[in-house]
Amino acid sequence: MRLTCPLCGPRDRREFYYYGAEDYLHRPAPDAPIEAWDDHLHLRTNLAGVIKDLWYHEGGCASWLLVTRNTITHEVLSVERVADRKGASA
């Protein structure tokens, strides 16, 4: 499996660290109810099919990447930098 990093181009899977589902991007407010934090950290839709998840280009440019891919076929559909997304905060 390869991911095409927007900065570095197509790179081997070994260069990337996998974090988890895109839920990690939706961080609740510090005072949000415990259920919101549970949702953010633990509960997963865990879809068989096209999903978005977070990877880190550890062996490359050190970007956090949001990857759209198919969990049944391992096909990678798109890779974008988290920092480049609209409304992305620091």
**Which residues of this protein are in contact with another protein, per CB under 8 A?**
1, 12-14, 18-21, 34-35, 38-39, 41-48, 51, 53, 55, 71-74
Region from 18-26, 32-40, 61-69, 74-82 binding Zn ion, contact rule CB under 5 A? 61-69
Q: Which residue has the tokens 């990877």?
A: 55
Specify the residue, 14 or 86, whose C-beta has the smaller distance to another protein: 14
Q: Which of 3, 5, 54, 67 binds Zn ion (CB under 5 A)?
A: 5
Element containing residue 68 per DSSP (H, E): strand 64-70
Strand partners, 64: 56
Query: Do strands 50-56 and 2-5 pair parallel, antiparallel, or not at all (unpaired)?
Result: unpaired
Specify the residue, 38 or 84, whose C-beta has the smaller distance to another protein: 38
Structure tokens at 71: 């969990």
Q: Which of 1, 4, 7, 33 binds Zn ion (CB under 5 A)?
A: 7
Q: Using DSSP, state whether 86 is helix, strand or coil.
A: coil
Q: Which residue has the tokens 């620091």?
A: 90
Query: Nearest approach, Cβ of 19 to another protein (angstroms)?
Result: 7
